[in-house]
Amino acid sequence: MRKESILVIGARGQIGSELLPRLRRQHGAFRVIAADRLPADNVSFRAGPYEQLDVLDPRALGALVERYDINQVYHLAATLSATGERNPRQAWDLNMQGLLNVLELAREKKLARVFWPSSIAVFGPRAPRSGCPQDAAHDPATVYGISKTAGEHWCRYYYEKWGVDTRSIRYPGLISHSTPPGGGTTDYAVDIFHQAVAGKPYTCFLHADTRLPMMYMPDAIRATVELMQAPLASLSARGSYNLAAMSFTPAELTTAIRRHLPDFQIDYAPDFRQSIANSWPGDIDDEAARQDWNWCHDYEIAATTRDMILHLSPNHKLAFNPSPLTDRIR
């Protein structure tokens, strides 16, 4: 059986920087090729093959796939929601043309599998605010969401017309201690920890009661790997799967942080990102993922908060030390 040779495009991004080491542990460092438009300036990226790549250049992409005999691609390069609203045309070009380049190459080279991330940004004002289902209406309010909606249709089209095995997750807001905020509407839930651990007050760009779906990065990485390992016959969503873990508001996250850092201060100054958040569901129904490939999250808000603070300030003695049995679910 041919061994996997995997390409991770956008390896320096929020997802890629944590997915890459996971895949290298699983498949071997030299069977997982990292690619990004920026050079490798970090030792962790140089632990295996690293290539500078502009995914908008199909010839360079094709040459890289040929050189390493790639048969599986994780295409993660994208412009996120808030950043995309500042330059919609540029966001569309990267998000859409990059995906089409990857899908077309997968068709031509008969690649075994392609992963591409979608987002809760595909949903808009017509979607239910609570328990948003897998098949809820898509009426995105941002160019990011528009590109993700179109991308889901392209993934389904390439699968149904040419048998390209594309797999996708609609990620909620992702929380990570490994990378700084990347220009998303949910990024307050990352930046707030950096400010709290530094002993600084935080000004949140969303209202205190804005509820959004969130996920801690270890869960997101595990979900991605598990979906890619799932038998093809078990998968019913050929566009993208809803994925859920926890939902909270900035006020609720502040309460969780104050269990460890009781002097933390926050105020609120909503900006243009508030209207984006208002268009998204407050929580997601991911029953299809749980049925089709046995998805089950580990981290809720308390465990996420504790782990974020531990990683961002490893010498900090936590004021609250819950039992893992009460703080994590499986």
Task: List residues with catalytic annotation.
Answer: 144
Cα–Cα nearest to 289, from 212, 224, 213:
224
* 94 three-class SS: helix
Sort strands 6-9 and 32-36 into parallel, antiparallel or unpaired.
Answer: parallel
Residue 293 to residue 310: CA distance in whole angstroms: 31
Structure tokens at 96: 């859409």
Cα–Cα nearest to 53, from 98, 89, 114, 4:
98
Asked if 177 contacts 308 with a C-beta cutoff of 8 angstroms, the reply is yes
Asked if 130 contacts 282 with a C-beta cutoff of 8 angstroms, the reply is yes
Sort strands 72-75 and 6-9 into parallel, antiparallel or unpaired.
Answer: parallel
Sign of CA dihedral 274, 280, 283, 289: negative
Say which residue the tokens 């993934």 belong to. 155
Q: How many CB atoms lie within 10 A of CB 310?
A: 15
